[in-house]
Chain A
Amino acid sequence: MAERLLEVKDLNVKFATEDGIVQAVDGISFDLERGKVLGIVGESGSGKSVTAMTLMGLTRGINARFDGEVLYKGTDLLQVSDRDMQNYRGNELGIIFQDPMTSLNPVYRIGEQIAEAIQAHENVGKRAARARTIELLRQVGIPNPESRVDDFPHQFSGGMRQRAMIAMALSCNPSILIADEPTTALDVTIQAQIVELVSRLKDDFDSAVIFITHDLGVIADIADEIIVMYAGRVVERGSKRDVFYDPQMPYTWGLLGSIPRLDRPRPERLHTIEGSPPSLINPPEGCKFRPRCPHAFDRCMQEPGLENRVETPGHLDRCWLDVDYKREHRDETISGGSTEAA
Chain B
Amino acid sequence: MRRKRGISVAIAAVVAAGLALVASGCGGGGSSGSNNSTAAPAGKTFPTLKVAWGTTDYFDPGLSYRLESWQLFQDVYLGLVVKAHVSCQTDNCTKIEPGLATTTGTVTDGGKNFKFTLRKGIKYSNGEPVKASDFKATIIRDFKLNSPGIGFFSNIVGVDACEANPTSCSDISGIVTDDKAGTVEIKLKTPESDFLYVLSIPFTAVVPASTPQKDTENPPPAAAGPYYITNYNPSKSFTVKRNPYWKKNEIPAVPNGNPDTIQGTMTDDESQSAQLVASGQAMYDENVLPVDRLAFYKKKYSDQIKFFTTPSTYYFFMNQQLAPFNNLKARQAVNYAIDRQQLVNLRGGLGVPTWNFLPPSYPQYKKITPTPYPYDLQKAKQLVQQSGTAGQKVTIYTISDVAVDLSTGEYLQSQLNKIGWKATLKPIAGANYFTIVGNQSTKAQIGFTDWFEDYPYPSDWFNILLNGEHIKPVHNNNYGNVNIKSLNKEIDRLDSLPPSEALSASTNSAWAKVDKAFSDNAATVPYLNGILTSFFSSQMNVACDIFTDSQDDPAQFCLK
Whether chain A touches chain B in the assembled complex (some CB pair under 8 Å): no
Residues of B within 8 A of A (CB): none
Residues of A whose CB lies within 8 Å of any CB of B are none
